[in-house]
Amino acid sequence: MSRYWSDAIRDLTPYTPGEQPKVDNLIKLNTNENPYPPAPAVVEALNNFDTDRLRLYPDPDCGVLKDALAQYHKVERHSVFVGNGSDEVLALAFMAFFRQPEPLLLPATTYSFYDVYCNLYNIDYQQIPLTEDFRIELSDYAQPNGGIIFANPNAPTGRALPLNEIEALLQRNTESLVIVDEAYVDFGADSAIELTRRYDNVLVIQTFSKSRSLAGMRVGYAIGHKDLIDGLERVKNSFNSYPLDMLAITTAAASLQDEDYFQQTNQKIIDSREWTAQQLEQLGFEGLPSATNFLFTRHNTLAGAELMSFLRSHNILVRHFNKPGIDNYLRITIGTQQEMEALINTLKQHPAL
Ligand SMILES: *Cc1c(COP(=O)(O)O)cnc(C)c1O
């Protein structure tokens, strides 16, 4: 704290990311990173990268990446916005669209960066409770609002909404923008990107961090109506002309070329997820069905915090949220099959399991 801090920053409660430990030999199942390396096309793009180009500023419009994304998702290039991780895309979108007289509506349990942005920008918001079985019930969002945001699949619950429920929301909620954060969509949910071709009140945000193994490159994007993208460009160009560096633009575009590798690694993660869920059930855990690369699960007798410390003492990191209603749950990222077997074997060493 400094006496030079403004009142606004004194009142902030910043987001706390999961731990990135500096020691080796840890099994890291705490931040939903992908356990498999980026696609071979990414490695090749890096190996062929001409370092002399680094003298120059990158393309401020990230044309190579926007073209690749437009082609991949079969949308117009003017429907694509890219940013430095989807966290940045979200931050710019909150600024562009959600500073409204009516409150933003969001699930009471969801990605915890959303309320951080609300506090940063002084956006009034209202948290809508999940159902008892942790589902988002979109009919609860039928009230005056300055925007709606949710993650689909949701985090940290892992549950997904079907597309027809999202479409029905877009038909009802015509006076404000709906943002669907699809960070985990490639692990088993349907993307709302197809709805962006028919509805101008939806913006879909995706990331290269999870299903494309590029968390370290920081690349995210939004797809929506051209006028929404123009709004995001106005904010971006009032803040930083070059949020994506050349390596990020080049490698992200390359990763889109390797569809087989993408499908294979996603399938491996899905298979390990289902195997792990079954094993956990046999050990007395009950979990929610997951359409993501993580499991949200609790034990029927042991507390979440205790299990997290037990795993930590055996060099396995998982995420635990000290929040009412979910404090007995663990969020366990799906690693390699070998890592998941180590997790299960370690849990079996717990005296109560
Ligand atoms: C991981 C995650 C993000 C952020 O992803 P980056 O692109 O790495 O910034 C956004 N939303 C949700 C729901 C996430 O889980």
Residue 19: the pLDDT is 82
Q: Is the CB of 182 under 6 A from ligand 1?
A: no
| Domain stop point among 239, 255, 271 | 255
What is the CATH classification number for the domain harbouring 201?
Answer: 3.40.640.10
Sign of the dihedral defined by the CA atoms of residues 262, 220, 153, 157, in that order: positive
CB 38 within 8 A of CB 251: yes
* Residue from 87, 154, 159 to probe ligand 1 pocket by mutation (most atoms less than 8 Å from CB): 87
Cα distance between residue 90 and residue 129, in whole Å: 22
Residue 58: the pLDDT is 98
Shared-domain flag, residues 132 and 101: yes
Backbone phi, psi, residue 244, to 5°:
-105, 130
Shared-domain flag, residues 68 and 102: yes
Residue 76: the pLDDT is 98
| Domain stop point among 229, 255, 281 | 255
Q: Examine residue 2 and state whether it is found in any structural domain, yes or no.
A: no
| Short-list 89, 60, 68, CA closest to 250 | 68
Q: Examine residue 239 and state whether it is found in any structural domain, yes or no.
A: yes
What is the CATH classification number for the domain harbouring 33?
Answer: 3.90.1150.10
Q: How open is the CA angle 75-77-79, to the nearest 5 degrees? A: 65
The parts of the chain modelled with pLDDT lower than 70 are: none
**Ligand 1 center to 87 CA (angstroms):** 6
Residue 299: the pLDDT is 97
Q: For atom 15 of ligand 1, which residue has the closest CA? A: 183
Identify the domain containing residue 168 by its residue range. Answer: 44-255
Shared-domain flag, residues 85 and 144: yes
